Amino acid sequence: MGAYDTESEGPAAAARAALVREIDAEGAWDGDPVWREAFATVPRHLFVPYYYVAGPRGYERRWGESPDPAARARWLCGAYADVPLATRLRDGELLSSSSQPSLMARMLVALRVEDGDRVLEVGAGTGYNAALLAHRLGADDLVTTVDLEPEITESARRHLAAAGHHPVVVTGDGARGVPARAPFDRIIATCELRTVPRAWLARCRPGARVLTPLATGLLALTVRDAEHAEGRFLPRAAFFVPLRGERGAEPGGGCPAVVPGRAREQEPFRFLLALTRGTLGPEEAYSLWLREGRPDRGRYGVTVAGGHAWAWLDDPEGPYAWPLP
């Protein structure tokens, strides 16, 4: 990053400690001190040498090597804020970002990584998440991260090297699961998908855990074998950039509109609409949602079996099930 690295070492450490305290206060570690130590050690600012902040006149670029000391201070402060950071734009469309640290912490805890696990990350982003994984596992070669965009993977490699980590960074379609590095014990996606790629199951060992954003939620699957997996959604909402390269992906598609009313109360209904897109109309979905007691994300799950995948409410064999693409 240049000369500002040494200049910012003290302020960066203080900002990092403040971020860890903020995540602590949210209870994101869920009693797992290993991830707290990873976030306290890995320097996020090395992974966001610049980022974009939305303003009244479009996006403002904040840069760690700005000649203006006040601008550098704003950049460092933003690098350790508990917010997602836009890191790559193209024609006004967001291509890549650094996720909100507290959400990253919750996802990493939910991944249930164990010593010696081989982990695949789909969506390399800035490389920060791969660095956290490598720090937790204590071995860079246990971590593989993949992204479709060569510019993203190249910058992720640079950021990782600056932080002293060298996991395997692959340029390719993450939906294919990087067969050359398989089998995996854990797969974590940091981009939104419309379905569960079947290739992932074939790249996993039996008993592997898959954590992926789907329909504004986070789905945690247990893999039984190359044809079967099942699991439920975590209770919290999660919004990510769509996976590029996935067949039938809808970049920038967003969530369907809610039925008129108070949006915050109806946010779980928006999840149902996103999960059943093309299967249930808004009125039918809203009626079901009310009838079943306004279920939140934790009551939904997904089953993959025999080349098919479907989402369900409460029970995979129950009356409410919808095919995934």
For residues 271 and 228, membership in a common domain is answered with no
* 195 and 301, same domain (yes or no): no
Claim to verify: residue 168 and residue 283 sit in the same structural domain: no
| pLDDT given at position 1 | 39
Residues 217 and 308 in one domain: no
Same domain flag for 40 and 153: yes
273 belongs to a structural domain: yes
In a domain, 62, yes or no: yes
pLDDT reported for residue 223: 98
Q: Report the alpha-carbon distance of residue 46 to residue 8 in Å, rounded.
A: 11
pLDDT score recorded for residue 248: 40
Is 307 within the bounds of a domain? yes
d(CA 14, CA 74): 14
In a domain, 112, yes or no: yes
127 and 198 inside one domain: yes
* Assigned domain for 252 exists: no
SS3 276: coil
Q: E strands within the chain?
A: 50-55, 58-63, 85-90, 93-98, 119-122, 143-147, 168-171, 184-189, 204-214, 217-225, 228-233, 300-305, 308-313, 321-323
Considering the domain boundaries, does residue 172 fall inside one?
A: yes
Query: Which positions are annotated as active-site residues?
Result: 96
Do 51 and 115 lie in a common domain? yes
One domain, residues 47 and 144: yes
Kindly state whether residue 88 falls inside one of the protein's structural domains. Answer: yes
The answer to whether the CB of 144 falls within 8 A of the CB of 134 is no
Q: What is the pLDDT of residue 247?
A: 43
Domain end call among 233, 253, 281? 233
Picking from 135, 159, 104, 113, the residue whose alpha carbon sits closest to that of residue 37 is 135
Assigned domain for 100 exists? yes
If asked whether residues 73 and 204 sit together in one domain, one would say: yes
| CATH number of domain containing 20 | 3.40.50.150
Q: What is the pLDDT of residue 296?
A: 95
- Residue-range definition of the domain harbouring residue 97: 4-233
* 194 in the same domain as 291: no
- The mean pLDDT values, 10 residues at a time, for the chain of 325 residues are 50 96 90 91 96 85 94 96 91 81 95 97 96 97 96 96 97 96 97 90 98 94 97 91 54 35 69 90 93 96 93 95 91
CB atoms under 10 Å from CB of 258, counted, come to 16
The reported pLDDT for the residue numbered 253 is 33
From 262, 249, 110, 127, select the one nearest 188 (Cα to Cα). Answer: 110
Whether 216 and 272 map to the same domain: the answer is no
- Give one word for 7, left, alpha or beta, with left for phi > 0 and alpha for psi -120 to 50: alpha
- As for how many domains the chain has, the answer is 2
What pLDDT does residue 2 have?
Answer: 41
Q: Are strands 228-233 and 300-305 parallel, antiparallel or unpaired?
A: antiparallel
* Whether 54 and 198 share a structural domain: yes
Strands 58-63 and 50-55 turn out to be antiparallel
Q: Is the distance from CB of 259 to CB of 282 less than 8 angstroms?
A: yes
